[in-house]
Chain A
Amino acid sequence: DADVTQTPRNRITKTGKRIMLECSQTKGHDRMYWYRQDPGLGLRLIYYSFDVKDINKGEISDGYSVSRQAQAKFSLSLESAIPNQTALYFCATSDRQGNQPQHFGDGTRLSIL
């Protein structure tokens, strides 16, 4: 089983819809991150969480919200999806010290029509 699992893997939806992307991990890591990747670009940080009670905005948080339901679960919501949020979304985890590599899920490909 994958250490970091993202659901769904693919999603097509319409402008204005509310969408939730989910991430769960079995690494036992405290830190979790949401990134988005656009074609030809690197990944950009949306939100990150150090534990259940600590959630922080990243570089491009506008239009997104998150929820850390448990240490192992971190979900990303698009309250009212717009076409320029079409992208590949990745969840990642890391240990508390940040001395080990970040571990990534396989991504969710989101298309907003």
Chain B
Amino acid sequence: KQEVTQIPAALSVPEGENLVLNCSFTDSAIYNLQWFRQDPGKGLTSLLLIQSSQREQTSGRLNASLDKSSGRSTLYIAASQPGDSATYLCAGGMDTGRRALTFGSGTRLQVQP
């Protein structure tokens, strides 16, 4: 059974700092890896999707990497802003027919102005 772990559970940084969020998974038979952002009382917004054949994806100030052999993914946020404050969830899509996602419990990020 796939298990996804996110460390740290919470993080507070000053504005402008570069930061890394970590995600680890136990089963390397992963189809893709998604990073989501969740704002309080809101649904999930997909940030980046990395297919199993890819090593990384970039969107603006965000960069996500995937290392299947070590069971790890990282989300790098450059020059953090207060508007980045949210909970960040990673989720692994298993290489099975259902293509459902197994989620980590998230990292709650607070960027201080």
Residues of A at under 8 Å CB distance from B? 4, 31, 33, 35, 40-45, 48, 50, 56, 58, 90, 92, 94, 98-107, 109
- Contact between chains at A48 and B100 (CB < 8 Å): yes
- Contact between chains at A40 and B105 (CB < 8 Å): yes
User: Does B24 belong to the interface (CB within 8 Å)?
Assistant: no
- Contact between chains at A99 and B51 (CB < 8 Å): yes
A4 to B99, CA, bound (A): 18
Contact of B100 among A58, A90, A104 (CB under 8 A): A58
A98 to B46, CA, bound (A): 14
Q: Smallest CB–CB gap between A101 and chain B, Å? A: 4
What are 20 inter-chain pairs, A to B, with CB distance below 8 A? A4-B43, A33-B100, A42-B4, A43-B101, A45-B100, A48-B100, A50-B98, A90-B44, A94-B99, A98-B93, A99-B32, A99-B51, A100-B49, A101-B34, A101-B46, A102-B34, A104-B43, A104-B46, A106-B42, A109-B41
A100: which B residues are within 8 A, CB to CB? 49
- Contact between chains at A101 and B49 (CB < 8 Å): yes
Contact of A98 among B9, B99, B103 (CB under 8 A): B99
A43 to B100, CA, bound (A): 11
Contact of B46 among A41, A45, A102, A109 (CB under 8 A): A102
A33 to B4, CA, bound (A): 19
